[in-house]
Amino acid sequence: MSRLNLDDFSELIERPDSGVRRDAEERRERLTVPPGALGRLDELGEWLSAAQASVPVKPVGQPKVLLFAGDHGIAGLGVSGRAAGTAHLLVRAVLDGASPVAVLARTAGVPVRIVDAGLDCDPALLPEEIVRHRVRRGSGRIDVEDALSADEAERAVRLGMALADEEADSGTDLIVLGDLSVGGTTPASALIAALCGTDASVVTGRGGAGIDDLAWMRKCAAIRDTLRRARPVLGDQLELLAAAGGADLAAMTGFLLQSAVRRMPVILDGVVSAACALVAQRAAFRAPDWWLAGQLSGEPAQAKALDRMALNPLLDHGVTVGEGTGALLALPIVRAAAALAAELPEKEKEKAPEAEAAPDPASDPASAPAPTGIDTD
């Protein structure tokens, strides 16, 4: 297997069809509802038209929630509100229908797929279709060691690429992307800080589970130490993911890149998916045109990453639970935009006024020509 070069994606990824988008914009001008009256829903409908290469836009008929699961060794430092090595409990809650994303997905009728990229648990605890993709058991403690070996990082990215192909080939037309991780916001924040050239304190948040001030200081120190290790490999995205990411983050990055190749739109969730998107953008600058930011999670690193990618979140409800919940909340808005763009009627064309018939001189004496002289014959 030849070494993967993420920079190759730059030539493989094209932007959504600009010609189709112009056609969608022109069609919007013809609708009965005045332009601008639907706010951002107009923009969403046009974006989806371009992504689908279809005017009018087609309904979002086969969306899917995809969650990458993994444990991070850095959680052992007490930087998370959950105990290290317990991400499998988050997976079990989704499977049992007892988590927010499971409830919302059930309500919306959207299937959920979970992929174990790097959980730190006995595989027998979870169904085989979830654990069969595992790259390694947990990721390394990134403040003092690499999260993954070079080979593991490449395997994880290729896993994400293969999953994108599977979903595209099966007819999935939109992905709601999230993570099920313990300690995942720490490597995500470190990646964003490294790529944005900022300090640890600027990107360190409280995480989805919430942490106290002491844990926040430990997290900030861990990100600072990770940055020292990550900066020498900033020129190589795969090495960066190995040094400061994790199996789930590397797989998610590969998924985002290949989804853009396959022209499959993705709704991003929180700081973890934003970090992976930022790494993917560094490899292929057109890739963010295929993504939507579902929500603003309150994590400072996420806001910084979205700003760097010029992605404007659809929602800001203060949802910090992660697990794809915020992105799934945005799905009805995307579906509504598609329905409005496709089903609202166009204005009736104005009929041109009929030309008045010229009067018949024979029937109108007043219109007869006046005599021009005396007839001498």
Say if CB 175 and CB 292 are below 8 A apart. no
| Radius of gyration of the chain measured on its C-alpha atoms | 28
Residue 234, CA distances (Å) to 50, 243, 255 in order: 33, 10, 20
Which of 355 and 56 is assigned the larger pLDDT? 56
State the Cα–Cα distance between residues 342 and 338, nearest whole angstrom: 6
Domains: count for the chain: 1
Task: Tell me what the mean pLDDT of segment 65-74 comes to.
Answer: 98
Specify the pTM: 0.90
Q: CB atoms < 10 A from the CB of 257, how many?
A: 30
What integer pLDDT is reported at residue 372 of this predicted model? 44
- The pLDDT tens digits of the residues spanning 224-256 come to 999 999 999 999 999 999 999 999 999 999 999
| Mean of the per-residue pLDDT values of the chain | 92
For the stretch 122-134, pLDDT in tens is 999 999 999 999 9
> How far, in Å, CA of 63 to CA of 65, rounded?
7
Q: Is residue 377 in some structural domain? A: no
Contact criterion met (CB below 8 Å) for 187 and 181: no
For 272-319, the pLDDT digits (tens) are: 999 999 999 999 999 999 999 999 998 999 999 999 999 999 999 888
Is 10 a member of any domain?
no
Q: Is residue 20 part of a domain?
A: no
Whole-angstrom Cα distance, residue 176 to residue 294?
9
Average pLDDT over every residue of 16-27: 94
∠ CA 211-212-214, rounded to 5°: 115
Share of the chain above pLDDT 70, in %: 92
Any idea which residue has 């190749």 for tokens?
Answer: 261
Structure token pair of residue 114: 């979970």
The answer on pLDDT for 51 being more than 90 is yes
* CATH assignment at residue 159: 3.40.50.10210
Residue 352 has pLDDT above 60, yes or no: no
Q: Is residue 361 part of a domain?
A: no
In a domain, 4, yes or no: no
H or E segment at 200? helix 200-203
Domain for residue 282, yes or no? yes
Is pLDDT of 339 > 70? Answer: yes
Write down the catalytic residue from 11, 323, 343, 350: 323
What are the structure tokens assigned to 272, written together?
């973890």
What residues make up the domain containing 283? 62-333
Task: List the structure tokens of 298.
Answer: 């309150």
CA atoms of 99 and 24, how far apart (whole Å): 38
Residue 17 included in any domain: no
Q: 170 is written with which tokens?
A: 């099966």
Write the pLDDT tens digit of every residue in 154-173. 999 999 999 999 999 999 99
Query: Is 46 in the active site?
Result: no
Residue 338 lies in a domain: no
